[in-house]
Structure 1
Amino acid sequence: MAELDAFPAPRSTRLELETDYTLSRSAIRQFAEHGFVKLKNVLSAETIAAYEPEITGKVIELNTQPEPLAERDTYGKAFLQVTNLWQDSERVLEFVSSPRLARIAAQLLGVQSVRLYHDQALYKESGGGVTPWHADQYYWPFSTDRCVTIWVPLQETPMEMGPLSFAAGSHTFEYGRDLPIGDESERVLQEALAEQNFPEVSEPYELGEVSYHLGWTFHHAPPNTTSIPRRVMTIIYVDAAMTIAEPVNANQVADLAGWMPGNEPGDTISSPLNPVLY
C-alpha cells in the first residue's frame, strides 16, 4: 500500500504529468523503424526535482543489495534495481500513473490503451559497471511485441555516467532473444549485432529527455565513471489488450507470478498490479 505523502508535489508538476505531449510523426516513424526513440523536453526540470528525492529515498530504503560493488557479478555491478516503487509511495504513484507518459507509449505502440506492467528504478552507482546487451522481453511472457519501456533519467546524463545505448533496428533481429542479461549476452550480442550492421546509438541525455524502447530492442549501457550515481526511473507499459503467453523460461514464470498475480497463460492481463494508465 502506498504511503500518504505529507508534502505533495506542487500542483504545476502534477498538472504537467497529466498534460498531453505533442509527439511528432517523425518520432513515431523513428520508433517503428529503429525500435526506440529519444524525446526532448518530455518533463520539466521542476517536475523532475519534485519527484526525484522521493524516488531516490525509496531506492535507498527498499534496496536489498547486501554485497559491496567489488564483490558482485557483472549484472550486480550494472545497477541497483528496485521494482514497483508505486506500491510504497503516493508521490511515486503519481509519477508512474502519469497520463502524459502513458499516452506517448500508446501512440508509439499504435494501440488504443496501455496498462502498467511494473516500474523499475535503475541506479548505476559511482563505479558501477557495464549494463550488458540484452532485450527486456526475454523476461516477459507476452503474446505480442506491443510492450515498451520509458527510460527517465533523473539528472542530466553525460556519456561518463552510463546512458542507455541502442542497436537501431534490432527489434527485428530474433537471434539472441533466448539470452538473459549477463557476460554471455554482452559477448554474443556485441558480435552478432555488429555483424548485422545494426548501428549503435549512444548519446547523452539532457535533463527532461527520455527514451522509449520496444521489448525486443537490444540495448546496453557503459559504466558510470563519475563520482555520483546515475539515477533513472523506468516504467513498462503493455497493450491493455495483451494476452499472456505460456512462459518459456524460469524468469518468465517468476514474472507471471510476481507482476501479474492471479493471471494465467491465455488470460488478458488484468491483475490489480496492472491498472490501465491511458
Structure 2
Amino acid sequence: MGNNLNENEFSSLKECYHLTQEQIKSYQEDGNIFLKNVASAEEIQTYEPIISDWVFKLNYHDKPIAARDTYGKAFIQVGNLWKKSEAAAKFTLAKRFAKIAADLMGVDGVRIYHDQALFKEPGGGHTPWHQDQIYWPLDTNHTITMWMPLVPIPAEVGTMNFASGSNHLGYVSKQGISDESHKTLGQFIEGRGIPQINYGAMSAGDATFHAGWTMHSAPGNPTDHMRKVMTIIYYADDTRVTEPDSNARRSDLETWLPGCVPGSIAGSPLNPLVYKKS
C-alpha cells in the first residue's frame, strides 16, 4: 500500500464526535440522520485527493454515460479502497466514524463490511430506490452506512432521498438497484404514504448515516462537477453470516466475507473490528 501518512499528524480522526440522545433516538426511529462536520475541512483536504486518485485509477467504465445502463449511469463505484492505500485506510478505519455508527445503532462494537467510493459524474443519472441489505448475507438488523461528500454538494444534487421509518419493514423487495427497483419501491413508498426526506446541500465532511433496510435513492447530477462521496458500511460485532438466499448475497459472501460460512462469525481479515466500547 502507498500514500503513507504520519500516524500522529492525522490522529484527530480518533477524536470522538458527540451525539445527543435525541439524535440517537431520531436515527433509530427514522433509519437515517444528517450530521454536520463529521470530518473537518482540513481532514477532507488531506484525504480527498488520495481517495480521488485511487477512484480515477481504478475506474472500470469504458463507455460514455449515455451508453451505460441505469446502474452504470449512477456512479463510478470503487470498493475496499482501504486495502489499496495506507492513507485511505486511516480514513476508512477511523475510530470517530465507527463510534458514531455504534452509538447510533446502540451496539458495543462494529466491524467494517467494506468501504465504497461513489463518484457521480457530471450528467450522471439518478440512483434508483433500493435497500442495501438485500446484498448482504448478514444475520442482523444492526447495519449502517456512512455517506460523506468529499466536496461541497449543491441543493440540486443534494443528499440521498430517504424513506423515513422504512428501516423497520425489513425485506420489501429483493430487486437489485435497477429501473425495476425504482418503480416497485417508489410505488410502495407512495402507496404506504411513507415520508421522504432529502437534507439538501451538504458541505464536504458532513455525513448522513442510514440503516441497511432503509429505502433510499439519489438524484442525478445536473452540474458540471463530480459528486465525490465516500461511504463506509458497518455492522455489529459478533454478527453471524446468514445462508445466502440470492446470487447477489452469494457473490457478496465470496467478495466481502472471504472464508466465512453460514452460521460463522462475520469476521474475515477484510472485516476488522474498528470500534469496541472499553
Do the structures match in fold with TM over 0.5? yes
The alpha carbon displacement at 1:110 in A equals 1.0
The alpha carbon displacement at 1:209 in A equals 1.3
Does residue 74 (structure 1) correspond to residue 73 (structure 2)? The answer is no
CA deviations 1:167-201 (Å, max 9, x no partner) are 11011224633121100111111111011111110
| 1:162–1:223 contact (8 Å) kept in structure 2 | no
Aligned equivalents of 1:207, 1:54: Cα separation in 2: 15
Aligned equivalents of 1:81, 1:67: Cα separation in 2: 14
Tell me what 1:211 maps to: 208
- Superposition pairs of residues 257-268 of structure 1, within 5 angstroms: 257-268=254-265
| 1:39–1:211 contact (8 Å) kept in structure 2 | yes
- The 1:175/1:112 distance shift into structure 2, 3 A limit, reads closer
Tell me what 1:3 maps to: 2
Amino acid at match of 2:266: I
The alpha carbon displacement at 1:34 in A equals 0.2
Aligned-residue identity in percent? 44
Aligned equivalents of 2:139, 2:170: Cα separation in 1: 15
3-state SS, counterpart of residue 209 of structure 2 = strand
Amino acid at match of 2:190: A
Unaligned runs of 5+ in 1: none
3-state SS, counterpart of residue 236 of structure 1 = strand
Tell me what 2:162 maps to: 166
CA deviations 1:9-55 (Å, max 9, x no partner) are 6955x222100110111110111100011111111111111100000
Give the counterpart of 2:253 among 249, 256, 275.
Answer: 256
3-state SS, counterpart of residue 159 of structure 1 = coil
The alpha carbon displacement at 1:4 in A equals 4.6
Amino acid at match of 1:166: F
Aligned equivalents of 2:244, 2:34: Cα separation in 1: 31
3-state SS, counterpart of residue 277 of structure 1 = strand
Tell me what 2:270 maps to: 273
Over the aligned positions, Cα root-mean-square deviation in angstroms equals: 1.3
Aligned equivalents of 2:14, 2:70: Cα separation in 1: 38
Tell me what 2:242 maps to: 245
3-state SS, counterpart of residue 66 of structure 2 = helix
Tell me what 1:179 maps to: 175
3-state SS, counterpart of residue 115 of structure 2 = strand
Give the counterpart of 1:225 among 222, 227, 234.
Answer: 222
Tell me what 2:98 maps to: 102
Aligned equivalents of 2:165, 2:257: Cα separation in 1: 29
3-state SS, counterpart of residue 42 of structure 1 = coil
TM-score (ref. length: structure 1): 0.95
Aligned equivalents of 1:175, 1:106: Cα separation in 2: 22
| 2:34–2:199 contact (8 Å) kept in structure 1 | no
Tell me what 2:151 maps to: 155
- Superposition pairs of residues 16-35 of structure 1, within 5 angstroms: 16-35=12-31
Aligned equivalents of 2:159, 2:125: Cα separation in 1: 12
